[in-house]
Structure 1
Amino acid sequence: MKAAQIRRQHLVSQVLLKQFTMAGLDASGRQLRPVDVRNPERRNKLASTRTCGWADTFVAFDSASAEKLWDSVETRTPAAFEAVRAGTPFANPLHVEALRDLVVLHYVRSHRYHSVYTNAFEAVSTKLRGQLVRQFPEELRREALRQTRLHLDGSGPLTAFAERLIEQSEVTQEFENGKLFRTSIENMFNKVRAEAAKWRLEVLTPESGQFLIGDNPAVSVRTDRKPFSYNMAVGDAHSIVLPISPRHLLALGRDNLVGTIPRAAVNDLNTVQIRAADQYVYMHPQSTRLEAFARDTATRWRTDRTDR
């Protein structure tokens, strides 16, 4: 039976994006404002949550399996959001668990994780190809003769044949069809979820200003330098942060707490979202100052990277 396929897969949950929306002026429903951080000069129209924060066939093999796992988190989120808005996120332990799982979900189900996964597989394949040529040249020659009836001589032909063997392997085939990625991302979700269970949950609100959210929204950060460093391994991070509305941000930390943070810290955290984004950040449609901040920050970031 052919594995189920879901093409449009949201990496940023619609229930999360909805927290940054307002009702449209027409029959278009609730909308938010996207800003393209790759092209910050571009003016984007207001958009629905359905058209934002998704990737085409992100999990390409039996995506229904992954969607079922994600749904187990997302269906618990609305009640937890209500508790946050009411100022009682810790009244029910199930709400704390749901919010912490939401952070983990968006940390793992991300463009960033897909990039790390792909780069790791390619690095291992390259290393294995070199090891085969260095350690098993005679075995490679015999196998090449058996398969192709050619006598290979020199490192170039042997390397090419080693690459062919790797491409024919079951592991590579599962990498190509997406089965390996689906297994990897589900296992990683469960692994990070178990690790995150050791952390407490901070619910932070800005003294002034608002939060925006990027399309890689759950970001590992260190706050011992300015600007905040980000995207390090979980074990090296001070926290994993996730904005959940213009007025609320979740952070994994040492203590359960509800607190406020100054405008400077809000700007630092918004800067992390902008720099960690794959292409877009999103905000409430009436956040005109925040839109200007996002465009200016993205422009400076692109300029700095070009000048290096």
Structure 2
Amino acid sequence: MGTAQPTSRQHLISKVLLKEFTMPAQKGSGRQLLPFDLRNPGRLHKLKTTRACGWAENFVAFDSASAEALWGDVETRVPAALAAVHAGTPFADPRTEATLRDLVMLHFVRSHHYRDIHTDAFERSRAGLVGSLISNFPEHLRREALRETGLHLSGTASLGAYVERLIERSSVARDHQSGKLFRTSIENAFNKVRAMASTWGVEVLTPERGQFLIGDNPAVTIRTEGDTTTYGMAFGDAHSLILPIGPRHLLALGPKSLMGTIPQAGVDRLNNVQVHAAERYVYMHPKSDLQKFASRAARQRADQ
């Protein structure tokens, strides 16, 4: 039986994926990449290790071992899949293609974006329940409030406050507060979208020029109409779901599996999507020369 556990930093971007954007540290051992703070584009951005990047505090705060086991089932297969991509043979083994597809879906669900959707949905449901109970059972609520508190509640505001108290004592609200509801939701969502994506192909795309960067909401749904790319729509409404997996490779789910190249303009559009879809940070290879691009895109994002 799961119990609430104290947790700390949980990586939303797999460290094995962040490692693709690193170079050997100039001093000491290890490898480093460049995080870029989109809220403070003018600051001095310092190189950091993968351990210090791409994480969230207490992302799955209840029984996190259950979710980590689910993610681990995918992540243990990723190094071999990335090696096949680098070797130019991602489709030689069907298991590699499945791993790359799972990697995209993992980062689609294990994200700031999904947590925001979950929280908003819960709050909308709670607000709707309050309104529904007040509209349909006002007299029952007044009698129950009088029995429990000895107070005569007359106005809508006082009834609403009482209903909020009732909801807060419910098992669903307690599970939401502890994080149990989110952990169950995110695991179910991963299994659902993983099944939905199982018939999609995997495109492995390489820039003709330039490099990809990766945001902290890295797996993004997109629709492309001519030279216009929009992002962030529901999974079922998207033309593709993209995930950068290194400076020189990006995965895109599509009708069929293929390896291809993408022109500089397309690279810029997809990097721009990463910036605008990010919660706060994008990450890049230290020698990518993408800081100016990220700074311009961050200012455009701030103006929207």
Native 8 Å contact 1:35 1:43 kept in 2: no
For residue 155 of structure 1, what is the aligned residue in structure 2?
156
Query: Is 2:57 the partner of 1:32?
Result: no
For residue 277 of structure 1, what is the aligned residue in structure 2?
278
Query: Aligned with 1:223: secondary structure?
Result: strand
Measure, in 1, the Cα distance between the counterparts of 2:281 and 2:268.
Answer: 17
For residue 73 of structure 1, what is the aligned residue in structure 2?
74
For residue 297 of structure 1, what is the aligned residue in structure 2?
297
Measure, in 2, the Cα distance between the counterparts of 1:120 and 1:197.
Answer: 26
Give the drift of 1:6. 3.0
For residue 143 of structure 1, what is the aligned residue in structure 2?
144
Native 8 Å contact 2:4 2:178 kept in 1: no
Within-5 A mapping of 1:187-266: 187-224=188-225, 226-266=227-267
Query: Is 2:122 the partner of 1:116?
Result: no
Measure, in 2, the Cα distance between the counterparts of 1:121 and 1:28.
Answer: 45
Tell me which stretches of 4 or more aligned residues in structure 1 moved more than 4 Å: none
Measure, in 2, the Cα distance between the counterparts of 1:95 and 1:153.
Answer: 64
Identity percentage of aligned residues: 60
Give the drift of 1:4. 3.8
Query: Aligned with 2:59: secondary structure?
Result: coil
For residue 43 of structure 2, what is the aligned residue in structure 1?
42
Letter in 1 for 2:296: D
Give the drift of 1:5. 3.7
Measure, in 2, the Cα distance between the counterparts of 1:225 and 1:123.
Answer: 36
Give the drift of 1:142. 1.4
Native 8 Å contact 2:24 2:30 kept in 1: yes
Measure, in 1, the Cα distance between the counterparts of 2:275 and 2:74.
Answer: 25
* Cα shift readout 1:96-149 (whole Å, capped 9, x = no counterpart): 111100000000000000001001100110011001100000111111112111
- Name stretches of at least 5 consecutive residues in structure 2 with no aligned partner: none
Measure, in 1, the Cα distance between the counterparts of 2:72 and 2:126.
Answer: 33
Measure, in 2, the Cα distance between the counterparts of 1:291 and 1:91.
Answer: 36
For residue 93 of structure 2, what is the aligned residue in structure 1?
92
- Name stretches of at least 5 consecutive residues in structure 1 with no aligned partner: none
Measure, in 1, the Cα distance between the counterparts of 2:227 and 2:37.
Answer: 24
Query: Is 2:177 the partner of 1:176?
Result: yes
Query: Aligned with 1:197: secondary structure?
Result: helix
Measure, in 2, the Cα distance between the counterparts of 1:30 and 1:225.
Answer: 39
Measure, in 1, the Cα distance between the counterparts of 2:261 and 2:64.
Answer: 39
Measure, in 2, the Cα distance between the counterparts of 1:126 and 1:43.
Answer: 43
Query: Aligned with 1:228: secondary structure?
Result: strand
Give the drift of 1:26. 1.1
Query: Is 2:269 the partner of 1:268?
Result: yes
* Cα shift readout 1:164-215 (whole Å, capped 9, x = no counterpart): 1111111011000100000000000000000010211100000001000000
Native 8 Å contact 1:37 1:281 kept in 2: yes
Give the drift of 1:225. 5.3
User: Structure 1 length normalisation: TM-score?
Assistant: 0.96
Native 8 Å contact 1:5 1:62 kept in 2: no
For residue 127 of structure 2, what is the aligned residue in structure 1?
126
Measure, in 2, the Cα distance between the counterparts of 1:114 and 1:28.
Answer: 35
Give the drift of 1:242. 0.1
Q: How many residues align?
A: 303
What do you get for the CA RMSD once the two structures are aligned?
Answer: 1.1
Query: Is 2:107 the partner of 1:106?
Result: yes
Query: Aligned with 1:181: secondary structure?
Result: helix
Measure, in 2, the Cα distance between the counterparts of 1:160 and 1:42.
Answer: 45
Give the drift of 1:232. 0.5
Letter in 1 for 2:76: T
